[in-house]
Structure 1
Amino acid sequence: MLLLRRALPPSTAYTTATRRLRVPSRISTLPHPHRLATTSSTTSIDPGFVPRPSDAQRKTIYALSTPPGKAGIAVVRISGPEVLQVWKHIVRRAEPEPWRMERCKIMHPTGGNMLDDGLAVYFKGPKSFTTEDVLELHIHSGRAIIASVLGALSHLPFCRPAEPGEFTRRAFLGGRLDLPQVEGLKDLIDAETEGQRRLALEAAGGAVSARFEDLRTGIIRCLAKIEALIDFSEGEDIEDGVYEDARNDATTLLATIRSYLGDNRRGEILRSGVHLTIFGPPNAGKSSLLNFLAQREAAIVTPVPGTTRDILELSLDIGGIPVIISDTAGLRPTDDLVEQIGVERARKAIQAADIALCVVSCEDTDATRSLPSAVADLVTERTFVLFNKSDLRPDASDNEPNNNNGTPTHWWTTSLKTGEGTAEFLTGFAQALKTRFDLDLDQDSPHTPLITHARHRVHLESAAGFIEAFLETTAEDVVIGAEELRYAAQAVGKVTGRIDVEDILDSLFRDFCIGK
């Protein structure tokens, strides 16, 4: 028997051993293509069984790239080295012509039945979004059709569903996008106002990256001058004044960085929204104002003082600027424990807001428009004032209000009940927001904010610190000065993703939607 086993060819011996292998019957629940032959109590592995590749081995990814739901068209995107194989199994036509949309029948790769009559376009790498071969299937956007096409792709053993943001991550790794462009692309998808759209479009187009790269290049030039002093001895032909030129250039660069950092967070505010808190005495019309701005009954309005007790937030578009509005409890002394908590929360919200809008009833003011004592101490240079219920006091003075502390304010007079003055208020308030945050959204402004994310600010602050440290060194400490400049260049490089970005990649791309 031993001699017989030795005489068997290796492949035969392997097949014999494989056929004798017994595994628990629960494995029989594994789907195609694991090709398991099942008995009542055990399962034998088919001798022709080929293990399905792992996710790490399957480099071709697919996902729905349009929002799910009923619509005219849905786009399924496939990217990776096996895209032409997907075309062969799904479209079943001759090799496609790149960048040409073709009408085709979408077929099931194993069943052979038609799934939909749609369009397909093939993008040949590296001239594609991901820099890989990409196939897009444009199908009808019905739930059953989308599910059938995605299910058909799952039957291809070399394909797998894409992770969130994986298409964009491949574009980044392929050099198609840098980090500010990736962030701009996500912000462009999420943009809800005209200001957000313009800001995101500039970042996605590479304009922001170019400004950061100019800054980094300037630091590297300073570093090159300092390293020239280190690498060459005094006997070499080095021009006089190289060290002074490097210091002058570094001083200019530091001033540029400080100007970017001193933008009052304009870019971050425009991207995430201006936080506006509405406050004032009870029954002044705060909730009515919120409903007017939202154009719906977002807040409960009653003649009973103290109706609003907690903070109600809404996100609105005012003049192209995203505004997150918080309606707060009326400010007054009260013995009601719940209302006291609401008043305290209102005070904290006012202090934390970017700007505040104080709503006062014309009934509660005298001829000098003095603000009630309950709100006067909360009015600052960040506060606007709206005198509401002008219909109850037609003789209300148009004199500038006295807020008891001499702080200048923007103010308007309206009647939210009759609509009198509301158009002027909306126009003036939108313009006041643009002026407050220096946002010119009516034309292409050369002063578009550079910093739109917190990490940009962190890295620029770090670069400024290193340049300041360089300027504190002397000519005798050029080695230390060069190291400070090197750190500064690396800090700016982290913004665009040129170096040391592995620690932020996962957190950045996982916020993307599936299929992008």
Structure 2
Amino acid sequence: MHTLCRRKSSRTSVLLLLQQFRHHGTIYSLSSGFGKAGVAVIRVSGPQTSTALKSLCKSDIPKPRTVVLKKLFDPESSELIDRGLVLWFPSPHSFTGEDVCEFHVHGGSAVISAVLHALGNIQGLEPAAPGEFTKRSFHNGKLDLTEVEGLGALIHAETEAQRRQAVRQMEGDLSRLYNDWRLRLLKCVANVEAYIDFSEDDNIEEGVLDEVQVNVQKLKKEIVNHLSDNRRGERLRTGAHVVIVGPPNVGKSSLLNHLCQRPAAIISPTAGTTRDVVETALNIGGFPVLLSDTAGLRETEDVVEREGILRALNRAKQADLTIVVLDAPSLWKRMEGEDFSMITLLKEQLTDIYGTNENDTTRQSQNTQNQSTSLTQDGQPFQNLDHQCIGLNAVSDTHETCHNLHEEEEPFAEKIIVVNKMDLLTQPLDVRRLDLERLTVCPLSCTTGEGMEELVERISSSMKQICGNPLAGNPSLTHARYRTHLKNCVEALEKYQDLQNRDLVLAARALRSAIRQIGKITGAVSSEAILDVIFRDFCIGK
């Protein structure tokens, strides 16, 4: 057993030494994008950077942070490679905190390959791993983990709102907030442990523990408020999920193609054409949107189509915004009745879709019989209108949600009702009769495009509510791991409050646990496994 422990300890020591050597070696990589371009940036970082700079330029090192035009040569053959700009950033005033230089050369693939080959022939230099420059910046204290992840988000940002949130995080807004909480907790721990060690000597001021309790309660409240953000930051970083649902042949796929302005989904008059979820990423109003078209909702014996309908239901329940597509001519038939109520209709539809109670069976059967006389525009019996409302209360999977259409568990389970095929109506549709209060009705025609701008504006408005303003108020949580650690921190603070009057030593341990949870967010407490997950998504050269 002792031999096994010694072997394990020795192996761990070797790994730590290899990691330390890796962090102190000299690395190089193309930092700009791959492919032909006007200019390519090649970065070098580490103790051998000055050697690499002298070898390629065959001259002395230029002044720090000064752009200099230099001829670049192959160190072995002395052949001229290119003429470009050279910058020198001596340690510690560089991105990585190490000696860094950059070669700004012409962006042809042959030039880039020649410069990288020349650097690879210099002893002590090795190609950088993905994210290794940023990882060195973290290890050298230039960035903490929240700033690192902000930088990664900025690199991957595709919309203006994502860029704003990423820049704010990269500039350290989240880092300052979490470090402030950590320092306040450190002060609380210091006071508690001082009371434990010196209270009997009467060297501690009265009311120290009371002050700690006030500060812990205040801090817990701030963290809980921070957690109560409806995941705005995470939605903005990864994209809000918008799902299009409705019965077959109402124009769901046509609507998807209109919104993404390309034929992303197959369009056919045959019912059941869309059998799986078709997903596409969009930029609507500067916000990232993952738009999903789903299978038409109807009763079917087709096993494949039933699986598609099941996936549509599951996707609708997970949606941040649900777009329910109705058929204008079919809806007009229902509205001809004097006692028509859209609210009643939607409740019936929700019950029929989510009904799992045996008491609902009779009512469902009666609804089907009452509606069997309604005809669609092509003269066929309209039997599936009750299924057109799926997604209106997509956050619940029981029929009980229909009892109060306007009371929702999830405030961002937004719904937009699209009444398509308006061009087929011979008379205007009175939208006021739909009486939907909080739900928005957008009449439109996918054939003519009329009403499409109003729908896009409505989606954009919903995205502002779902994702929030990334520049307003305190910075938002952007990663699930932040949320996990902060929840653990709150639990530790609650444990302190529970133990403070019973066992102060255990209470102090709970405070130290809360400090560790915040430290895991910023990287003050970290493991190599966590760092590997964070940095692996960076491109090589960053």
* Range of TM-score over shorter length: 0.7 to 0.9
Specify the alignment match of 1:485 in structure 2: 511
Change (3 A) 1:342 1:475: closer
1:411-430 equivalence runs, <5 A: 411-430=441-460
Number of residue-to-residue matches in the alignment:
456
8 Å CA contact retained: 2:235, 2:467:
no
Change (3 A) 1:466 1:115: same
1:134-213 equivalence runs, <5 A: 134-213=100-179
> Take 1:167 and 1:412, find their aligned partners in 2: how far apart are those partners?
50
Work out which of the residue numbers 452, 472, 491 in structure 1 matches 2:498.
472
The CA RMSD measured in Å over matched residues stands at 1.9
SS across alignment from 1:376: coil
Residue 72 (1) aligns with residue 43 (2): no
> Could you tell me which amino acid in structure 2 is paired with residue 391 of structure 1?
D
Work out which of the residue numbers 409, 430, 433 in structure 2 matches 1:397.
430
8 Å CA contact retained: 2:238, 2:288:
yes
Which TM-score applies when normalising by structure 2? 0.81
Work out which of the residue numbers 209, 220, 243 in structure 2 matches 1:254.
220
Work out which of the residue numbers 452, 468, 481 in structure 2 matches 1:439.
468
Which TM-score applies when normalising by structure 1? 0.85
Specify the alignment match of 1:25 in structure 2: none
> Take 2:70 and 2:487, find their aligned partners in 1: how far apart are those partners?
54
In structure 1, list runs of 5 or more residues that go unmatched.
Answer: 1-54
- 1:55-92 Cα deviation digits (max 9, x unpaired): 85981110000111111111000111111111111111
Change (3 A) 1:59 1:355: same
Specify the alignment match of 1:374 in structure 2: 387
> Take 2:517 and 2:266, find their aligned partners in 1: how far apart are those partners?
50
Specify the alignment match of 2:269 in structure 1: 303
Say which is worse superposed, 127-136 or 422-431, in terms of deviation. 422-431
How far residue 228 of structure 1 moved from its aligned partner, in angstroms, is 2.2
How far residue 239 of structure 1 moved from its aligned partner, in angstroms, is 2.5
How far residue 95 of structure 1 moved from its aligned partner, in angstroms, is 2.3
Specify the alignment match of 2:419 in structure 1: 387
SS across alignment from 1:399: helix
How far residue 337 of structure 1 moved from its aligned partner, in angstroms, is 2.5
> Could you tell me which amino acid in structure 2 is paired with residue 81 of structure 1?
P
Say which is worse superposed, 264-273 or 55-64, in terms of deviation. 55-64
8 Å CA contact retained: 2:266, 2:273:
yes
SS across alignment from 2:482: helix
Specify the alignment match of 1:347 in structure 2: 313
Q: Using CA pairs below 8 Å that are at least 6 residues apart, which structure has the higher relative contact order?
A: 2
> Take 1:95 and 1:224, find their aligned partners in 2: how far apart are those partners?
49
> Take 1:232 and 1:457, find their aligned partners in 2: how far apart are those partners?
37
8 Å CA contact retained: 2:493, 2:514:
yes
SS across alignment from 2:442: strand
> Could you tell me which amino acid in structure 2 is paired with residue 254 of structure 1?
K
Specify the alignment match of 2:370 in structure 1: none
Percentage identity across paired residues of the two chains = 42
How far residue 440 of structure 1 moved from its aligned partner, in angstroms, is 2.4
8 Å CA contact retained: 1:58, 1:159:
no
How far residue 354 of structure 1 moved from its aligned partner, in angstroms, is 2.5
> Take 2:120 and 2:279, find their aligned partners in 1: how far apart are those partners?
43
Change (3 A) 1:73 1:248: same
How far residue 384 of structure 1 moved from its aligned partner, in angstroms, is 2.1
8 Å CA contact retained: 2:445, 2:451:
yes
Change (3 A) 1:438 1:82: closer
> Take 1:378 and 1:87, find their aligned partners in 2: how far apart are those partners?
61
> Take 1:58 and 1:155, find their aligned partners in 2: how far apart are those partners?
19
- 1:22-49 Cα deviation digits (max 9, x unpaired): xxxxxxxxxxxxxxxxxxxxxxxxxxxx
> Could you tell me which amino acid in structure 2 is paired with residue 305 of structure 1?
A
How far residue 298 of structure 1 moved from its aligned partner, in angstroms, is 1.0
- Report which of the two has the higher share of helix: 2
How far residue 402 of structure 1 moved from its aligned partner, in angstroms, is 6.2
Change (3 A) 1:183 1:499: same
SS across alignment from 2:388: helix
Specify the alignment match of 1:22 in structure 2: none
Residue 501 (1) aligns with residue 527 (2): yes
> Take 1:83 and 1:237, find their aligned partners in 2: how far apart are those partners?
55
> Take 1:103 and 1:195, find their aligned partners in 2: how far apart are those partners?
38
How far residue 111 of structure 1 moved from its aligned partner, in angstroms, is 1.0
> Take 2:330 and 2:181, find their aligned partners in 1: how far apart are those partners?
55
SS across alignment from 1:119: strand
